[in-house]
Every structure is written in C-alpha cells, then in structure tokens.
Amino acid sequence: MKWLLWKAFTSLILFFGAREMFNFCFLSQAYVDSSVIMGQTGQFQTRVEKYENIEYMKCTPENGFFPDLSTVSPTNIIFFCSPNNPTGFAASREQLTKLVQFAKDNGSIIVYDSAYALYMSDDNPRSIFEIPGAKEVAIETSSYSKYAGFTGVRLGWTVVPKELLFSDGFPVAKDFNRIVCTSFNGASNIAQAGGLACLSPDGLKAMQEVVGFYRENTNIIMETFNSLGFKVYGGKNAPYVWVHFPGQSSWDVFGEILEKTHVVTTPGSGFGPGGEGFIRVSAFGHRNDVLEACQRFKQFCK
C-alpha cells in the first residue's frame, strides 16, 4: 500500500508512526534526544542547558507561545509542532504565514508536526498546507497514535510536496523516498488495514468520539487547576494542560506531586529550557483515574 499511495500522490509516505520521521531524518527540537542519539547536535552546554547546533525557539506565555522570528537565527530545518505538545497552543493563520515566509527567506525546510490536529476546537489551520506557498518549504507529518490509540500499533504518515526542492532544484521527495525505502520495510499490513478502517465512515466517527472523550477529560483537568487558582494554558486544541508554578523548578513540582498524590505529571523543563516552571498534565486516561487524580490535586493544594 505504501507504493500505491506513493504512486497516487507522489508525496505521501506511510510510516510506522510519526516519531520514526524525526529519528531518521533531521535534527529535531521537539525530540532533542533523538537528534543527540543520531549524532546531529553538538555538545551539551551545561551552563545554558542546551545542545550546540540547535536554535531553541522559546514559546512561553510572554510571547503568546509563538517565537519572535526576528530574533531566531536561520537553520536548515525548523521543527514546528501545532497544536503543540506540551503547551497545547495552536498557531494562527497569521503566525504560520510568518513562519512560511521566514523559511522562504532563509532557505529552511519546515517539518510540521500536526499529530494533534483532530483535537482542535478553534478555526486555526489544521495543516501547514493551508498556508499559500507552504508546499515549497514544508513537510508535514502526523500519526494515528493520538486519534485512534495506535501508539503501540505504529502508523503515521508524512507529506512531502513535489514543489519542495533543494537549492540545486532536486526534489526533496526523491531523497526522502530513498531514505524511507532504505531504512524501513514499511508499515505492517495489519497496521495499514487498521489505518484504512479508521478512514471509513465508522472509523472517522469512532475517532471523533475518542477525541471527544479526551476533550472532556481535558476540561475536567482545566477546571480543577483553574478552581485552585493556577495559571493554566492549553487544553483547547490539544489534550494537554500546561500549568504554571512561577519561580519553582519543574522537577521539584513534579517530585512533590508524585510523592504527595502518587499522580505522574511531566516536568515542563524536560521539553526544553522554555518549559521550566511548568508541568504538563495529560488527559489521556480513563475517566475514573482522571477524576481521582483531580480529587487528589485538590487535597494536595488545600
């Protein structure tokens, strides 16, 4: 099927999951660790807690979770995740237009991760290709993991437009296909059959129901932290709630919550230096567990 899709679109490639894309191709900000393992970064700089050869684009409440591109040094590859994990923020059409222009001006390729697009509840773009000119500068990758619980099954896809060319005019899609076909034997037939079932009318309905269920979980978590007086971000366009603990270390907050409530959150600084002072709370869970966790948060904050 991979071949059939390749023939039909000349630009759509199926992966085991979205993550394989990051590991095998380019330096990733989203998955810094993978890039380190692949030997694409420089040394870790302890003083600033950053790797060399990565330009970190800080996304915080101060800049509306979108980087100030006038201060960002050009790179070959720009990894951009919207709706974002961990902040839950989704970029607007205007912001994405600026990003596309920035990539054009600097000869960069955007790798756009839209793994949470189905969770969006506002009318911001679901795909970078909604932006005119994006096909000349962007690749988009996504996954069934968050839509249909394929995290273990492994199936994702990547769109590499025909219009995307290296500076010498050679199509990126040709190199991409070569890398993929050399590195993988393709997604299993079982996984692909599952993916096709997801795209049937029943499958699409089931995915909407799953997303709706997690959206309800997200609302419960948002309400809990709001009622406790925390500054809370995200939740609207992704199943993550980004909770601010100003002046505190993410790891300290994570440790205290774990010890006192036995609930596992994720320390924000684990996503990069811009996440310091935050924790991420995930809505991917059974309803009773989410309710129980929220009850414990309330006890913890009494």
Ligand X SMILES: Cc1ncc(COP(=O)(O)O)c(C=O)c1O
H/E stretch holding 235 reads none
Of the two residues 116 and 245, which places its CB atom closer to ligand X in the complex? 116
Of the two residues 119 and 225, which places its CB atom closer to ligand X in the complex? 119
- Dihedral of alpha carbons 128, 78, 154, 123, sign: negative
Give the Cα separation of 25 and 37 in Å (integer): 12
Residue 113 binds ligand X, judged by CB under 6 A: yes
Of the two residues 18 and 221, which places its CB atom closer to ligand X in the complex? 18
Give the Cα separation of 17 and 113 in Å (integer): 12
Of the two residues 75 and 85, which places its CB atom closer to ligand X in the complex? 85
Cβ of 11: how many Cβ atoms within 10 Å? Answer: 22
Cis peptide upstream of residue 239 (ω within 30 degrees of 0): no
Give me the long-range contacts of 177-181 (CB less than 8 A, separation at least 24).
Answer: 177/6, 177/13, 179/24, 179/25, 180/13, 180/15, 180/24
Closest separation in Å from C-beta 171 to ligand X? 25
Closest separation in Å from C-beta 284 to ligand X? 9
Among the residue ranges 12-20, 66-74, 98-106, 262-270, the one whose residues contact ligand X (CB under 6 A): 12-20
Closest separation in Å from C-beta 145 to ligand X? 3
Of the two residues 17 and 235, which places its CB atom closer to ligand X in the complex? 17
Backbone torsions φ then ψ of 35, nearest 5 degrees: -65, -35
User: x/- binding map, residues 64-103, to ligand X, per CB under 6 A?
Assistant: -----------------x---x------------------
Closest separation in Å from C-beta 30 to ligand X? 6
In this structure, what token pair is assigned to residue 96? 């994405």
Q: Which 130-149 residues touch ligand X, going by CB under 6 A? A: 143, 145
Of the two residues 147 and 261, which places its CB atom closer to ligand X in the complex? 147
Closest separation in Å from C-beta 81 to ligand X? 5
| Residue 301: DSSP 8-state | T
Q: Which residue is nearest to ligand X (CB)?
A: 17
Among 115, 160, 180, 290, binds ligand X (CB under 6 A): 115
Closest separation in Å from C-beta 301 to ligand X? 27
CB 266, CB 254: distance < 8 Å? yes
Residue 156 binds ligand X, judged by CB under 6 A: yes
Give the Cα separation of 89 and 169 in Å (integer): 35
Of the two residues 116 and 261, which places its CB atom closer to ligand X in the complex? 116
CB 125, CB 96: distance < 8 Å? yes
Virtual CA dihedral for 265, 268, 269, 274, nearest 10 degrees? Answer: 180
Of the two residues 124 and 261, which places its CB atom closer to ligand X in the complex? 124
User: x/- binding map, residues 18-57, to ligand X, per CB under 6 A?
Assistant: xx--------------------------------------
> Whats the size of the chain, residue-wise?
302
The structure tokens 């869970």 sit at 285
- 256-258-262 Cα angle (round to 5): 135
Catalog residues that contact ligand X under the rule CB under 6 A: 17-19, 81, 85, 113, 115, 143, 145, 151, 156
